[in-house]
Amino acid sequence: MEKEMKKYCVADVDLLRKGCLTFRRIFYAMNDVDPFAEAMTIAQACQKVFRKCFLEEESIAAVPYLGYDNHSLKALKWLAWLSHRDGIRIKHARNGGETTVAGYKVDGSCGNRVYEFQGCLWHGCPECHTDREKLVPGSTLTMEDTYQKTSWKIRDLRRSGMDVVEMWECEYDRMLYQDKKMKEFVDALDYKPPLNPRNAFGGRTNATCLMYDAKPEEQIKYIDVCSLYPWVNKYGRYPIGHPTIVTENFRPWQGYEGIIYCRVLPPRKLYHPVLPYRSNNKLLFPLCAKCADERRLDDCKHTADERAIEGTWVTFELKKAVEKGYVVLNVNEVWHFEKHTQYDPRTRRGGLFSGYIDTFLKMKQEADGWPSECHTEEDKKAYIDDYERREGVRLETIEKNEGKRCLAKLMLNSFWGKFGQRCNLPRKTIINDLRKFWELASDSTKEVKIARIDEDCMELICTDKEEYVDGGGNKNIFIAAYTTAQARLKLYSYLEQLDERVLYFDTDSIIYISRLGQYDPPIGNYLGDMTDELDKDYGTGSYITRFVSGGPKNYAYEVYSTKKGTTSRQCKVRGITLTARVSQRVNFDSMKNLVEQFDPARCEDNESILVEKKHDIVRKRLGEVYSKPTHKMYRIVYDKRVLRPDFSTVPYGY
C-alpha cells in the first residue's frame, strides 16, 4: 500500500510539473511575460500583461492609499474648539477652504493669524518618532527630512508677517485628555470623515423568497450574465487620471461624475432598492436606515431623518437611485473626474480595457470550438461574421482546446480585482537572528503576532498599521468601484423588470418565476447576454419546479431535465463541502425543514444541523498539514430583509 501511495504521489507531482510547464509556455508565447518569474499570482500576471501590452500613457492614475489632501478630523475639531473658545471665525477646509499664504496652504486662518495642525506621523514629530531615518509612509523623505520641511514652512509663514499658532497631534491628544470642557465640545461635533472610495461596495447577493413551489402554469428559471465583469471591463465607462476633490461650494450634484459621499432618503414600496448600505458589518439594501440598524421586523414608523442613509457611491448609481424615487438630502464630498473613456462599438475605439478583453475573448472563443449548429462551411462563415459584427473580434483558428480556454477565462476573470486590492495584507517572516527579531517585534508601524517554531527560530506575522501602509504604484480603487457599480446596475436592469418574481440573485445570476405572457430576460451567447444556467447540464428548456433558500450562497432546488425526462435535486451551501456523507444531512429536504421552522426573532436559537467530517485536511499555524475530525453547525440565519409568513420578503422600511 505504501509503495502504491508513493507511486501515485510521484505521478501526481509529475503531472502537475508538465501542466505548469505547458501553461508557462503558452502564457509566455502569447504575452511575453513569464508568469512564474514575474508574478506570484494569476491576478498579478494579468496586471503584468496589461501594463506591458495594453496600458496607454496618462490613462490610469496611481492613487494614494490614504487618499488626496486628507485633511485631519483632529485638525478641524481643534480649529472648531479655538473658534468656540475665543469667539472668532477661523476659515478652514470645511467652511471656505484652506487659505494659501506665502505659497503654502494653511489649515486655518483668521485675519493676520494662521493655524497649523501637525500630524505627528506626517510631519516627523521628534517626540513620537525617535528613529529619524525611518521613511514617512508613501514618501521618499525620512522623519527628519519632513520635520525640517515643516520647520521651514513655519519659518517662512512668520517671515511673511503672519502670527502662527502651531499644534502637534500628541500635544492635542494630551489637552483633550486633561481639559474636560474641550473634550465635551469636541465629542459633540458632527464632522463627517473624508470620503473613502473603498466604501464603494462590491457584489449584490440575497434571497428574496425563502421557499417556493412552481404552480402548474409556472416555471422557475435560472439565468446568469455571460462574463459579467469582462463585459463591464470592455463596455463600461471608466475615469481617466486623478479626480478634483470638492468639499464646499457644491454645484448641483448631477453635474459631477465620479465618487460622491452624501445622504439620501429612500422611497417607500420599492421591492428592489438600488443603493447599498453597510449596517452592523453587513451589506444591506434597505429603505430605512434605522429599521436596518435595529433589524426591525414590524412596519416602519420612522421619520424621514431616521430613514435616510449615508454612504459613498458612484454618481451614475446615484442617478439610477433618484430615477427610482430616492432624494439626495445633502452632499458631504465629491471626487469629480473631468475625463472618462468608454468603448464605442461603432468605431471600435475607446475604453481602458477593450484591447485586453478582446485579446483573451478571442482566445477563449476560438478554444471553445465550433458551436453545435455549425455544420457546413456557410454556417461557419456566418458564425465568424456574426461574432465580428457583434463583438468587433475576428475569429480565426477555431479548434476546441480546454487548456487554452481555461487560460483565457482566467485572464478575463482575474484581471480587474488587483486594482482594488488591500495593501496591508499580513506578511509572514521566519527569523533566527535576534537583532532582526527585535527590530521587527518593536516596530511601532506594524501589528506583530509572534509564534515560536523551536529554540532557534521564530515566526512573525506583520501587518502595517493603516496610517503606515504603502499603497504601491499599481492600485486604483476607482476602477474597482466603477466596475462593481456597473455590474450591480447590469443586474438591477433585470431585477427591476422581474420585480417580485425574483427568488434569488447572486452578483451575475438570477433565479425567478417565469409566467406565460410576462417579461422573460432574452437569452444569448455573447458577452453580457443572459444565458440559461440549466441548459448545459439538464438540456434546453429544463426548469426548476421547487426552490428553497436559507439566504445568500445557500440554496437548493428540484429541477426537471428535458434531456433525461426526470427530476433531480441540487444543493449549494457556502462553507460546507457536500460530500455523499454530508449530503445525507444537508439537502433539499433538510433545508426546507429548517426554513419552515425558522423564526427571525429567535436568531441563533433556531434549529440547526450538525455537519461532521471525519478526515478534514487542516493546516497548523506553522504550516504543518494533518487530518482531524471537524464539525460545523448549519442553521438558517436570515436578516437582510423582512420575512413574511408566505416566505417572501421585503426590504427594511418597505
- Write the CB contacts of 621 (distance below 8 Å, at least 6 apart in sequence): 451, 459
What is the model's pLDDT at position 471? 64
Per residue in 595-605, pLDDT (tens digit) is 999 888 876 77
What is the model's pLDDT at position 306? 95
- Terminal Cα distance for the chain, rounded: 64
What is the model's pLDDT at position 238? 96
Alpha-carbon gap, residue 305 to 15, rounded angstroms: 63
Alpha helices of 286-398 — where are they, by DSSP H? 289-294, 304-307, 315-323, 354-367, 377-391
What is the model's pLDDT at position 622? 64
What is the rounded radius of gyration, in angstroms, for the C-alpha atoms of the chain? 29
The better pLDDT of the pair 267, 247 is held by: 267
Nearest to 483 by CA among 352, 611, 309: 352
pLDDT band at 274, cuts 50/70/90?
very high
Residue 239, beta-bridge partner list:
340
Alpha helices of 32-92 — where are they, by DSSP H? 35-38, 42-53, 73-86
How far apart, in Å, are the Cα atoms of 381 and each of 248, 375, 376, 384? 59, 11, 9, 5
Alpha-carbon gap, residue 146 to 107, rounded angstroms: 17
Per residue in 505-558, pLDDT (tens digit) is 999 999 999 999 999 999 988 899 999 999 988 999 999 999 999 999 999 999
Averaged over 91-113, what is the pLDDT? 84
Averaged over 27-50, what is the pLDDT? 89
What is the model's pLDDT at position 424? 78
Which DSSP symbol is given to 287? S
Least confident of 12-26, 219-233, 319-333: 12-26
Encoded amino acid at 14, one letter: D
Least confident of 74-78, 389-393, 434-438, 545-549: 434-438
What is the model's pLDDT at position 362? 93
What is the model's pLDDT at position 91? 87
pLDDT band at 308, cuts 50/70/90?
very high
Does the pLDDT at position 95 exceed 80?
no
Averaged over 128-135, what is the pLDDT? 87
| 3-state secondary structure at position 281 | coil
Task: Provide the mean pLDDT of the chain.
Answer: 90
Does the pLDDT at position 73 exceed 90?
no
- Write the CB contacts of 78 (distance below 8 Å, at least 6 apart in sequence): 115, 117, 167, 172
Cβ atoms 604, 622 nearer than 8 A: no
The better pLDDT of the pair 572, 62 is held by: 572
Residue 207, beta-bridge partner list:
504
pLDDT band at 627, cuts 50/70/90?
confident
Q: Which residue has the cell 480565426?
A: 396
Cβ atoms 235, 390 nearer than 8 A: no
Cβ atoms 195, 332 nearer than 8 A: yes
What is the model's pLDDT at position 217? 92
DSSP 388-453: HHHHS---------HHHHHHHHHHHHSSGGGGG--S---EEEEE--HHHHHHHHT-TTEEEEEEEE
| 3-state secondary structure at position 162 | coil
Cβ atoms 283, 276 nearer than 8 A: yes
Encoded amino acid at 222, one letter: Y
- The pTM score is 0.88
Alpha-carbon gap, residue 122 to 150, rounded angstroms: 10
Does the pLDDT at position 39 exceed 80?
yes
pLDDT band at 272, cuts 50/70/90?
very high
- Cell triple for 454: 523551536
- Cell triple for 625: 498539514
The better pLDDT of the pair 276, 403 is held by: 276
Averaged over 154-179, what is the pLDDT? 92
- Write the CB contacts of 211 (distance below 8 Å, at least 6 apart in sequence): 547, 548, 549, 592, 595, 596, 647
Share of the chain above pLDDT 90, in %: 57
| 3-state secondary structure at position 245 | strand
Answer positive or negative: Cα dihedral of 95, 101, 103, 106: negative
Which DSSP symbol is given to 220? E
Nearest to 573 by CA among 597, 596, 590: 590
Per residue in 444-500, pLDDT (tens digit) is 778 888 888 778 888 888 888 877 776 666 788 999 999 999 999 999 999 999 999
Helix axes 180-188, 73-86, angle to 10 degrees: 120
What is the model's pLDDT at position 79? 92
pLDDT band at 582, cuts 50/70/90?
confident
What is the model's pLDDT at position 442? 80
Does the pLDDT at position 3 exceed 80?
yes
Cβ atoms 342, 350 nearer than 8 A: yes
Cβ atoms 335, 259 nearer than 8 A: yes
Encoded amino acid at 538, one letter: Y
Instruction: Indicate the domain borders of the chain.
Output: 2-53, 73-193, 354-414, 424-468
Cβ atoms 224, 510 nearer than 8 A: yes
- Write the CB contacts of 149 (distance below 8 Å, at least 6 apart in sequence): 141
Averaged over 408-427, what is the pLDDT? 87
Encoded amino acid at 206, one letter: N
Helix axes 402-413, 2-31, angle to 10 degrees: 70
- Fold for the domain defined by 73-193: Endonuclease; Chain A (3.40.960)
Q: Which residue has the cell 525611518?
A: 134
pLDDT band at 303, cuts 50/70/90?
very high
